[in-house]
């Protein structure tokens, strides 16, 4: 029986991923004098292993987002980010690297399913500027996102629930690379709970299962992710947060079942601190 090799996944979720599902989804009233806005952020992350352990993972990253408001309810958004890998990644690589760059168009208030709830959408183009994308000969990527959110102040003041569905389509030059199957489609569903309290504090928790398929239509790389974050809005422009996050492949054809308790393994968890400046 032929075994299908699955491209290794990074089990440590980067803070930039978590951040991308918070600030990049925000819709706030911009400065009427300018259609331009955005934010920059810097973070440091590490897992629970000692610095000398071969499984230690420490990194620092920076993200820049530039937005242009096409109208009150639509915008263009450019995201550029990079990171410094202090310990070896899944390929044993250290140093400074770019992440993939993206350009998107988003629309808020596509429709309102119920009173107090809204659905927003986004179409994103992904350009292969990261080392992993270049290594796998990714030529281009696209992603469609639909996000439902609603306030539940009648239950608890400051409580917001949201559910985000994301579908990504990759375009690789080859269907395999180094004996590994490339991912053509990835479907994710993120459920989030946000709670704003004491005027300037907030708490966020999310759970995201996601599933992938290769270019032959075979199922690959089913994973589940979670994250918890607490933040503080220091000024109108500056905020900071700390959190932890992790992911696990809950089924791997080569290794069999992967226990879900790895999701809350304190050594495998990624812990991070982030500072954001919005303009």
Instruction: Mean pLDDT check: name the lowest of 74-78, 110-114, 143-147, 167-171.
Output: 110-114
What pLDDT shows up at residue 2? Answer: 37
What pLDDT shows up at residue 9? Answer: 36
What pLDDT shows up at residue 11? Answer: 35
Q: What is the mean pLDDT of residues 261-271?
A: 85
Two structure tokens written together for 183: 């991912």
Contact indicator for 172, 182 with CB cutoff of 8 Å: yes
Nearest one of 46, 48, 42, 51 to 19, comparing CA atoms: 42
pTM of the predicted protein model: 0.86
On the CB side of 183, how many CA atoms lie within 13 Å of its CA?
A: 21
CA distance 131 to 101: 12
Reported as a pLDDT band with limits 50, 70 and 90, residue 180 is confident
Contact indicator for 153, 141 with CB cutoff of 8 Å: no
Instruction: Mean pLDDT check: name the lowest of 48-52, 170-174, 255-259.
Output: 255-259
Q: Tell me: the pLDDT tens digits for 67-109?
A: 999 998 999 999 999 999 998 766 667 899 999 999 999 999 8
């Amino acid at each position: 029986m032929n075994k299908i090799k699955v491209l290794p996944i990074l089990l440590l979720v980067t803070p930039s991923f978590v951040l991308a599902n918070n600030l990049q989804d925000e819709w706030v009233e911009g400065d009427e004098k300018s259609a331009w806005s955005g934010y920059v952020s810097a973070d440091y992350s590490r897992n629970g292993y000692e610095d000398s352990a071969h499984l230690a993972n420490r990194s620092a990253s920076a993200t820049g987002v530039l937005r242009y408001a096409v109208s009150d309810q639509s915008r263009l958004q450019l995201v550029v980010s990079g990171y410094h890998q202090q310990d070896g990644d899944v390929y044993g690589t250290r140093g400074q690297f770019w992440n993939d760059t993206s350009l998107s168009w988003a629309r808020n208030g596509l429709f309102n399913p119920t009173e107090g709830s809204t659905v927003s959408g986004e179409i994103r183009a992904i350009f292969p500027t990261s080392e992993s994308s270049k290594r796998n000969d990714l030529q281009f990527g696209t992603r469609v996102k639909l996000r439902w959110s609603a306030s539940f102040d009648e239950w608890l003041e400051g409580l917001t629930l949201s559910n985000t569905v994301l579908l990504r389509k990759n375009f690789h030059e080859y269907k395999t690379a180094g004996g590994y199957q490339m991912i053509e489609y990835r479907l994710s569903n993120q459920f989030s709970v946000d709670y704003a309290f004491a005027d300037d504090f907030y708490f966020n928790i999310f759970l995201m299962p996601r599933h992938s398929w290769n270019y032959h239509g075979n199922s690959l790389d089913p994973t589940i992710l979670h994250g918890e974050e607490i933040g503080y809005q220091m000024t109108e422009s500056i905020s900071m947060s700390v959190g932890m996050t992790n992911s696990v492949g809950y089924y791997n054809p080569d290794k069999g079942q992967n226990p879900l308790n790895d999701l809350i393994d304190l050594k495998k968890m990624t812990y991070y601190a982030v500072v954001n400046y919005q303009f």
